[in-house]
Every structure is written in C-alpha cells, then in structure tokens.
Amino acid sequence: MLFTRSVEHSWRYAQAFPLYARLPWRAAYRLAAWQSNYFYQKHAQTRELIRAQMQQVFTEASTEQMDTWVHDYFCMVEQEALDTWFLDQPSMPEIVQLSGFEGVQTARASGQKVLLSTGHFGRFWMAGAAMRQAGQTIGTITRDGGATNRHGLHPAEYRYRLWKLQRLQRVLAGPFLVEGEDLRPLYKELNKHLITLLFDVSYNETLRGSVTVPFLNGTISVPTGIYKIAKKTKAVVAPFYMQDSGSGAVVAEFSQLLDPHNYNDEEFMSLLATQLESRIRARPGQWWLWEALPLLRRQ
C-alpha cells in the first residue's frame, strides 16, 4: 500500500538499510526513525489521507496530536522495513520480547493446536522471530510470494517482499502459504506449527462469510476465516499485539486464549476487533490500514 510506486525504494533497500544493519541496533533504528522524516515530507498525499482518516475517528484531537500520530506511522514503516535485516541477528532478544506467551507454550506442550491472530498493527513480524527463539515454529498465509507481481507493486518493492518472505520463512521455520492457492495443507500444519492469520486484511469487495462488527466509531466487514479454521481444527486462538517503544524495541503482548466454540462467528470477530481497536486508540500511528479504512467499512 504505502510507497508502492516510489523510486526511493531502491536506495532504501539496496543501500540505506543494509548499511544501518551493520551498526548497533539502537543506532540503526534511530537512523530509520530519522529517515522517516524524509518520507513524511515526500509523500504528502499519503500523509494527508492518513491524517483525514484519523481525524474522522479522533474528532477532538488537536493538530499537534495528529502530527505526532502521523509521524509515528512513518517511523513505524521505516523501522519495520529495517527489521528484515535484524531477524536473525544476535541482538534480536534485546529488540523484541514476549509478554503472556506462556499460555501458548502450555497449550502447545499439551498437544493443543494454536492459531495466532493479530491485526496489521505495528511491527508484528518481530513477534515471530521472538517466538522462534522461544522454541516454536511459525507459519502464515500471505498475500505476497506468488510467482508473478500480480498486485502491481513497484519492481523494487516486489523484489524486496520476495526476499523478506524468504528470510521470514527461513527464520520462522514454518509453512508460508499464499492466499488464493490450495490452503488445505494448513490443517495438517497446525499439528506441528503455530500459524498466524491476520483478520483485518482489506479486500476490494466483501467476501462471502464476512461479518460486520463495530470498529472505530462505525463498523467494518471482516472475513471469518480465523473463526472457521479454528473451529474446524479444534484449535484455540491466541491474539497478540505489538507494543512499540519508539526507540526500536518492541514487546509482543499476548491476550487470553480464545476457544471458538464459546462464540458464534460475529461474537468472535467482534471480540478481535475490540481488542485491535483498543490498541489503535492507544497508539494510532501504529496501525497500517488507515488508508484502507473506507474499504474495510464497505458493506
């Protein structure tokens, strides 16, 4: 979504981030934050679209608050891109920590299948690297990774995303399935791996099986795939969300495990939406999908 047509991708991915990754991690993330100021100024249209969506939700927010949140957004984007170079570095335990992950580990130790759930919030891939260091293997379903550039990304962005997914799959050691392809292997993989699903991916049209749930002063339409897969496979769902310090360090905070058999599909997705909304309200600049909010609201 953001920066997909920008020629700056070449120097970001080919020169800037590889150079930063040679530095101590705190210095590297400070440089990524400093770099975000350039993109904040450069991408005025994106900046104002995000600001407009935030303003509709936070109607009482001051101009200064809005500026802080939008700067936070651009900083998060740059630091998340830099994360790809740090996924397998020795400094990873200093950069990302897990909070409340013990429930997931206990469930897996007892043979329980676990689906991880999160939104496009913060630097969520970093949670996977930390979980891997804790002894778990993690897979996911991704919209990227196909053999062709079917989403029309800038060529440099497309190459970077393929490389990023290769690194993630190598580090996380679980299956990476591509949305739209045969997903039946996912059911078998749940016996061996934690599988992460994002429930707030935007679509061009409302999918069959979606439900409408309250969200950010309105409603959004979300697919119920997480609920259906968990119920069919007798898995519990472990929601997690990223807490970002702004200095490069993050914490993956895990909520209580959810049994889908205790809810219907609308109740379950409403609960996930409520959890995500509470994080967005606490740190608006950490949510990736401000530009896509009108699509999410489409009925």
Judge whether residue 136 has pLDDT over 50: yes
Average pLDDT of span 102-114? 96
For residues 212 and 220, the answer to whether their CB atoms sit within 8 Å is yes
Q: Are 96 and 25 in contact (CB under 8 A)?
A: no
pLDDT digits (tens, 9 = 90+) for 217-269: 999 988 898 999 999 999 999 999 999 988 999 999 999 999 999 999 999 99
| % of the chain at pLDDT higher than 70 | 89
Per-residue model confidence (pLDDT) at position 70: 98
Domain boundaries, given as residue ranges, for the chain: 9-297
Judge whether residue 153 has pLDDT over 80.
Answer: no
For the cut 50, the answer to whether the pLDDT of residue 4 exceeds it is no
pTM, two decimals, is 0.91
Q: Which pLDDT band, with edges at 50, 70 and 90, does 5 fall under? A: very low
**Tell me, what amino acid is at 29?**
Y
Residues in a beta bridge with 254: 240
Q: Nearest 5°: CA angle at 287, between 28 and 194?
A: 80
SS3 content of the chain, % helix, strand, coil (to 5): 50, 20, 30
CB–CB of 279/286 below 8 Å?
yes
> Does the structure show a pLDDT above 80 at 64?
yes
* pLDDT for res 177: 81
The whole-number pLDDT of residue 187 equals 81
What percentage of the chain exceeds 90 in pLDDT?
73
pLDDT of residue 278: 97
User: Is 132 or 223 the better-scoring residue by pLDDT?
Assistant: 132
